[in-house]
Amino acid sequence: MAITLVPAPRVAPPPLAPRTARGLGERLAPYAYIAPFFVLFAVFGLFPFAFTFYVALFDWNPIGDQVFIGVDNFTRMASDPRFWNAARNTVSIWFLSTVPQLLIALLLAHVLNHARLRFALFFRMSVLVPYVTSVAATAIVFAQLFDRDYGLLNWLLGLVGVAPVDFVQSTWGSHVLIATMVTWRWFGYTTLLYLASLQAVPRAVYEAAAIDGAGPWQRFRHITIPSLRPVIIFTVVTSTIGGLQIFTEPLLIAAGAPLTCGAVRQCQTLTLFLYEQGFGEFEFGYGSAVGVALFVVVVVIAAVNYLLSARIRADR
Amino acid sequence: MTLRLPTLLAAAALVLTTACTPGTGGGGGGDGTSFEFWSFAAINQKLSVDAYREKHPDVEVKLTEVGTSTETAQALTTALAGGKVPDLVLIQGDNLPKFVQQPQNFVDLRTLGADDITDDYLDWVMKQSVAKDGEVLGIPTDVGGMAIAYRTDLFAAAQLPTDPAAVSALWPSWEAFIETGKRYKQATGKAFIDNAATSVFYQAVNQVSEKYYSEGRDLVYDRNPQVRAAFDLGVAAATAGITAGQTSFESAWSAGLAQGQYAAVAAPSWMLNTIRSTAPDTAGKWAIAKIPGGAGNWGGSYLAIPKRAKNPQAAWNYIKEMQSPQGQLDHFVRVGALPSTPSVYQDEKLTSRQDPFFSDARIGRVYTDSLLGLKPFYIGPDSATIGQEFLNSITNVEQSGGNPATAWDDAVRNIKTAIGG
């Protein structure tokens, strides 16, 4: 039996011109499909971003002269007590909001992950309600709860004989107020992140630990926390970056002096300071310089995050 | 539900067309008779626009109430920097200097014939809107004047007189005003005024002959004894225990006003509208007394035409008619804003006007009297910032437990940081 291999008849190549036209079109098509995002990103994201660095080198009056002054805006910022005050406030509010928020979320996630919890879906969904409430509405309601003269909280304090506290006008009070709002808004979201990654932990591990005599605290300490380590680092970093950008809450609580968050800038955050300089005083150059400084801080934190997560991955 | 692609495309096209066609709808299209007007919210500007349109039915006026006076100035700055500008814009006096510093952004109203009418206005008010080379950038629409509004029922409860003349006699000076506050506090246990910063300091510092700048336009805020005296009065009021610690215009301030938490409040003429709308239930319980410490002014606004306006002539026609002495007098009768044109100060319509909300006070006379003998001072580009820092420092003493002994030095240091001096 002889097998004859017959080469397949060659297909004549199609005429040259149409092929290149179609080929070019096909090669470009994917770019056209993704173009809308990248064009918008370039116009509304990349360009303003790059332009901020440029403006930061100028004394930039939007309706007057624009004078190149090099790094003067940055040296001015370094010696500006208002900048450092805003930086301190930002760190303080970040700390007061992140620590309780992550602790609450951790405990809640642990509880919501419990095998015998009834109506688990209902509870898991309802922790998200504060997250979907508008920030402005949250700020207005909390400002009223914490009001000095007519607030519910001070009324309750009054029942036990405590003199009314002026939350907005005092430094620590305003920080607590803002941190409460931030915690309220984000704890549900963080809880769900933790819960999602807890569900990947096999139930058998918990059952085995229980059989070996581990109590609830030990199971939390030795199973829940270690298995959440990567996501805990992730949430610490995201809430830190979010904490650096707290803006709406301080803007809305001190209606008398919104841009400084009170008479002595007691709760003015860095982003609010940026806004005050840029769009209250219209010192675009100085405001941009503050923006650049914020950007540098965020990049440093993101880098730390990258190194930490890389180390955790290496440990496994 | 299914949406077909052509429908979607049509919708998208519609959105794009609407978004990309500037100046559609209303006036402002560049036809020369209609114009676009930016004003503040809550000052009843619409009444004047309606009155104008009644006389000129062919003119379309697109009125936008941008927000507070500060927000309007911010929106204007943004628009001047590269957006669509209105044909006519209202600028509050405190915000004006920054614009006067950059006259290239506005139409020099002399080119439209402003020289014929500038003499109609109080000269010290008119001067504020004239740039360094004599360009006339704005026409003053109103002035504030000064007075004290007080609650007659609360005064009676504290065994204080209630008749305006007798009440005015209680406080020839600010020191006497603070003493009256102490008497009130002693009798009732309640606060006398809303806050020290605006009701005392901001009033007193507007009664000076020289404020933050000297006659020669140099900064003197830190060594002007008149400013220091006004500041010390503010601190004295803040530490006398007579204030409610309510920052003006905050929601708790409004609630306090409606509930009689404090018995008196500083009231330039435009404040009457605020009291009326904030506390409508207190109608008839208020009266108006003279301001302690002499003549002065707080507030007042200007109308200006941006350089890139499409319909400068139509906007100017509006200014000329509505801001004439007669036009301002009619506006006063409509909404109570005090005219900036002294020729109508003796007019029967102004002097005889009584306001039932304020126990039939003759508001025209009270406020024009407070302007008599006023010594004008220069308001510079940093005046608003300086005033705000002084205000903040007094509020800090009053509400946040700041040290009154260092308040002045703190304020001066903060001002130096803020204005880079």
pLDDT, one tens digit per residue, over B336-382 is: 889 999 999 999 999 999 999 999 999 999 999 999 888 889 889 89
Q: Return the DSSP state at B128.
A: T
Tell me the range of A229-233, A299-303, B231-235, B371-375 where mean pLDDT is highest.
Answer: B231-235
Parts of chain B with a pLDDT under 70:
1-31, 421
Residue B8 contacts A where some CB pair is shorter than 8 Å: no
Q: For position A21, what pLDDT does the model report?
A: 65
- Please report the number of interchain residue pairs, chain A to chain B, with beta-carbon separation below 8 angstroms: 71
pLDDT greater than 90 at residue A20? no
pLDDT greater than 80 at residue A5? no
- Most distant pair of Cα atoms in chain A: their distance: 109
Query: How far does the CA of residue B360 sit from the closest CA of chain A (Å)?
Result: 31
CA–CA distance, B25 with B22 (Å, rounded to integer): 9
Is residue A91 within 8 A of residue A84, CB to CB? The reply is no
Confidence of residue A189 (pLDDT cuts 50, 70, 90): very high
Q: For position B166, what pLDDT does the model report?
A: 96
Q: Return the DSSP state at A72.
A: H
* Two structure tokens written together for B241: 């225990």
Check A255 against B247: CB less than 8 A apart.
yes
B221: left (phi over 0), alpha (psi -120 to 50) or beta: alpha
Q: What is the pTM of this model?
A: 0.83
Of A62, A257, A280, the CB nearest to B392: A257
Of A82, A147, A171, the CB nearest to B417: A82
CA–CA distance, A259 with B95 (Å, rounded to integer): 16
Check B78 against A62: CB less than 8 A apart.
yes
A151-177: pLDDT as tens digits: 899 999 999 988 888 888 889 999 999
ipTM exceeding 0.85?
no
Check A149 against B251: CB less than 8 A apart.
no
Is residue B292 within 8 A of residue B282, CB to CB? The reply is no
Is residue B107 within 8 A of residue B131, CB to CB? The reply is no
A265: left (phi over 0), alpha (psi -120 to 50) or beta: left
Check A255 against B251: CB less than 8 A apart.
yes
Residues 6+ apart with CB under 8 A from B371: B122, B143, B145, B295, B297
> Of A149, A256, A146, A260, nearest to B250 (Cα)?
A256
Residue-wise over A154-172: b if at least 16 C-beta within 10 A, else e? Answer: beeeeeeeeeebbbbbbbe
Q: Name which of B85, B91, B382, B392 to mutate to probe chain A: the one with the most chain A Cβ atoms within 10 A of its Cβ.
A: B392
> Of A144, A107, A129, nearest to A232 (Cα)?
A107
CA–CA distance, B240 with B169 (Å, rounded to integer): 21
CA–CA distance, B28 with B34 (Å, rounded to integer): 6
Check A82 against B402: CB less than 8 A apart.
no
Q: For position A39, what pLDDT does the model report?
A: 94
Of A62, A81, A150, the CB nearest to B252: A150
**Between the CA of residue B401 and those of A95, A180, B3, what are the distances in Å?**
25, 23, 63
Of B81, B395, B399, the CB nearest to A63: B81
**Beta-strand pair B61-67/B35-40:** parallel
Query: How far does the CA of residue A259 sit from the closest CA of chain B (Å)?
Result: 12
> Of A111, A184, A104, A114, nearest to A142 (Cα)?
A184
* Between residues A116 and A133, the one the model is more confident about: A133
Residues 6+ apart with CB under 8 A from A227: A197, A198, A200, A201
Neighboring chain B residues of A63 at a CB cutoff of 8 Å: 77, 80-81, 99, 102, 105
* Two structure tokens written together for B50: 């309606």
**Beta-strand pair B88-92/B139-143:** unpaired
Residue B102 contacts A where some CB pair is shorter than 8 Å: yes
Neighboring chain A residues of B252 at a CB cutoff of 8 Å: 147-150
Q: Name which of A72, A264, A279, A286 to mutate to probe chain B: the one with the most chain B Cβ atoms within 10 A of its Cβ.
A: A264
Check A64 against B102: CB less than 8 A apart.
yes
**Between the CA of residue B240 and those of B47, B197, B228, B261, B390, what are the distances in Å?**
43, 13, 18, 17, 18
Q: For position B235, what pLDDT does the model report?
A: 97
CA torsion, ordered A179, A182, A184, A186, to nearest 10 deg:
-140
* Between residues A7 and B134, the one the model is more confident about: B134
The span from the first CA to the last CA of chain A, in angstroms, equals 61
Q: Name which of A63, A66, A281 to mutate to probe chain B: the one with the most chain B Cβ atoms within 10 A of its Cβ.
A: A63
Once rounded to an integer, what is the mean pLDDT over residues A247-272? Answer: 89
CA–CA distance, A8 with A89 (Å, rounded to integer): 78
Residues 6+ apart with CB under 8 A from A201: A223, A224, A227
Amino acid identity at B61: V
Q: How many CB atoms lie within 10 A of CB A79?
A: 9
